[in-house]
Amino acid sequence: MAPGGGGMTEAAPNQWLRPWARGFRDAAMLPAWIVGLSLMGVGTLARDVGYPVEAAVLSTFLVWAGPSQVLFFASIAAGAAWSAIALAIGFASLRFLPMTVSLLPLLRRPGQSVAQQMLIAHFVAVTAWVEALRRLPNIPPEQRVGYFLGFANALIVVSAFCTYAGFHLAGIVPTPVAAGLLCLTPIFFLSSMVAGVRGLGDAVAIGFGLALAPVAGWAIGGGFDLIASGVIGGSIAFLIQRWRKARKAGA
């Protein structure tokens, strides 16, 4: 039982404002700046293809998925077909389905509206998800939604600021630093993917993805090359992982 719990009016600030503020502060301490750093490159990429800064910042608020945003601007730069861009982004974002499905039960409240669940779901992205799964179980259930929203809001606000900064910095810094801003995204993605490797399957998927993309780009092109290399690399990784599991189960 929550201390002093009961009446809605009495409990409301405790359930929303304080957990929200605590979540916001926890994220603004460090995680938000790490995400922000990865989205700084998105601003630089957007500028590179001639899109306005508003579109770059809006992409952080509305898309809220670094890989999708990078795919969007980088594919435009590469001249991919629009259908190929949407398909690649759809595939890269499929991971949000299992991620969101596994997070929602932690944040479920009696009588929760669909609108509130959709709001929560919108904030699901790698960092918010990883941190929420780690932190939420230690927070009283009635404070979790407030805490999660505060945490996610800090991530998205800091990241929007960084996207804006990345766009404008690209125009004023010396060329080597501008190159460094553009390289933030690949370095950050690869580093966090390698840090998140949980088994042979993950490692194989990364290896094949890196190796196949240039080959597919040469053989297929047109933007569908990324999807092809992803499906082939991911499927090989999946088969290897299944095969290993079956062997372990059989031994």
Partner 1 sequence: MTQPIAFLDGPWWPYLALVLFAVLPTEIWRWLAVAFARKLDENSPWLEWVRLVATSLLAGVVAKLVLAAPGALAGVPLAVRLAALAVAVTIVLAWRRVMLAVLVGEVVLIGGAIWLS
> Which residues inside 116-155 make contact with partner 1, applying CB under 8 A?
117-118, 121-122, 124
| Residue from 74, 136, 139, 160 binding partner 1 (CB under 8 A) | 74
Task: Restricting to residues 211-250, name those near partner 1 by CB under 8 A.
Answer: 211-214, 216-217, 226-227, 229-235, 237-238, 241-242
Which listed range, 17-25, 69-77, 134-142, 143-151, lies at the site for partner 1 (CB under 8 A)?
A: 69-77
Task: Give the contacts of 185 (CB within 8 A, at least 6 positions apart).
Answer: 38, 41, 42, 45, 66, 70
Of 2 and 197, which CB lies nearer to partner 1 in the complex structure?
197
Contact predicate 45/74, CB 8 Å: yes
Measure the CA–CA gap between 98 and 51, rounded to whole angstroms: 32
| Residue from 15, 75, 143, 159 binding partner 1 (CB under 8 A) | 75
Least distance in angstroms from the C-beta of 22 to partner 1: 23
Measure the CA–CA gap between 182 and 52, rounded to whole angstroms: 17
Site size toward partner 1 (CB under 8 A) is 106
Of 2 and 231, which CB lies nearer to partner 1 in the complex structure?
231
Least distance in angstroms from the C-beta of 18 to partner 1: 26
In order of 64, 81, 131, the CA distances from 161 in angstroms are 13, 30, 21
Of 1 and 198, which CB lies nearer to partner 1 in the complex structure?
198
| Residue from 17, 29, 133, 190 binding partner 1 (CB under 8 A) | 190
Contact predicate 167/46, CB 8 Å: yes
For the four alpha carbons of 10, 16, 21 and 27, in that order, the dihedral sign comes to: positive
Least distance in angstroms from the C-beta of 125 to partner 1: 9
Of 17 and 211, which CB lies nearer to partner 1 in the complex structure?
211
Least distance in angstroms from the C-beta of 28 to partner 1: 16
Least distance in angstroms from the C-beta of 17 to partner 1: 25
Alpha helices (H) in the chain, listed in sequence order:
8-15, 17-29, 31-48, 53-62, 66-78, 82-93, 96-107, 114-122, 126-135, 141-172, 175-195, 200-219, 224-250
